[in-house]
Amino acid sequence: MDRRTFLKTGAVGAGAAALAACSEGEQAAAAGADAPSRPRQARRLSMVTTWPPNFPGLGDMALRTAQMIGELTQGSLDVRVYADGELVPALESFDAVSTGAADMYHGAEYYWQGKAKGFSFFTAVPMGLTANEMFAWHHFGGGKELHQELSAQFNIIAFPAGNTTHQMGGWFKKEINSLEDFRGLRMRIPGLGGDVIQQLGATTVTLPGGEIFQSLQSGAIDASEWVGPWNDLAFGLYRVAPYYYGPGFHEPGSGLHCGVNLDVWNSLTEFEQLAIQRACDWATHMSIAEYSHQNAAALQTLANEHGVTVRSFPDDVWARLEEASMDVVSTIGNSDPLTKRIYDSYMAARERSMLWASVSDGPYLRFRRQGGDAAPQ
């Protein structure tokens, strides 16, 4: 449905609601008649998030989604956004929505992998799908149905509502010239990416974003990934770890999601449900556009103003990362029957995507002139 059709439908919906409101008194007077259930006042919904207050990029995606839900429902839904700790701590967002203590969350599904292993596949897995491939899998490749089956077990329905696009490999204090250089390396890299580099002999450390700079500066860690040029520049990581590696193998297009309590969802009108889905889709598209623009601009700044040169891992390191990634992902994927179905669907999407990319984006981006001082050496 395009925007014009949608707005038209919205206008018709609002008109029908107004009509229903006019005849409400008569209907109430008629015994046994169905009274309209649509609330006439704005319904306030709480959205808890896994992001700190005023967090650029990820926090903006939550605000943008909430605002668009209000606009598309013409104010019948009023979504209030709460940053990490304002209503509940970041990682309790899922439980808060599951139990109904909050109505919605905006966050990264892989934070819930302690609840079910399958959640990782809906954010990112090492050597997995890119942002566009993730969205394709969700809408056309069976991802949506599997995600909803998984979330329903926790009384939640979730929709993609943002994507960080391709993340970078990270900032290193020393060059990586061979597999040997990973041995004994202390790196901040959370989740499955961390499991992969452990197979290469590295030690992994989990630190919140705010502690990365100081830990690199003090020598407590030798390397750290964060997000990409936009968010990395903001932290000033180039000042304490001069070697920037890209692309990242571990988060090739991290999807963020908006999860809604299922009882709340079922109490909404069809029009409100549609508006939430369209707002989430729109937030995904906007974040892909925003990250594509902001990362490109920040990379120019890193190269031109701070002399940063992006490097690529040697081929043998990439080969080992691919091998270890498939090992880690398959172990997770075989942990229970539903995760296995998610894993099989995801890997089938990956196989299709690789075939198509091998004759489209892959060669095209290689053939197009790669320019600038920041291009990988």
Residues that bind Ca ion (CB under 5 A): 167, 251
DSSP 256: E
Contact 85, 54 (CB under 8 A): no
Nearer to Ca ion, 98 or 224 (CB): 224
Task: Show the tokens assigned to 210.
Answer: 């705010």
Q: From the CB of 263, what's the least distance to Ca ion, in Å?
A: 33
Q: From the CB of 268, what's the least distance to Ca ion, in Å?
A: 33
Contacts of 165 (CB under 8 A, 6+ apart): 130, 131, 228, 253, 287, 288, 291, 292, 295
Contact 291, 165 (CB under 8 A): yes
Nearer to Ca ion, 250 or 278 (CB): 250
Nearer to Ca ion, 251 or 281 (CB): 251
Nearer to Ca ion, 133 or 251 (CB): 251
CB atoms within 10 A of CB 292: 15
Nearer to Ca ion, 118 or 170 (CB): 170
Q: From the CB of 252, what's the least distance to Ca ion, in Å?
A: 11
365 CB-contact burial (10 Å; exposed 0-12 / middle 13-18 / buried 19+): exposed
Task: Show the tokens assigned to 124.
Answer: 């990112």
Q: From the CB of 124, what's the least distance to Ca ion, in Å?
A: 9
Q: From the CB of 74, what's the least distance to Ca ion, in Å?
A: 37
Nearer to Ca ion, 50 or 167 (CB): 167
Relative orientation angle of helices 131-140 and 143-152, to the nearest 10 degrees: 80
Q: From the CB of 295, what's the least distance to Ca ion, in Å?
A: 13
Instruction: Please state whether beta strands 186-188 and 203-205 pair in parallel, antiparallel, or not at all (unpaired).
Output: parallel
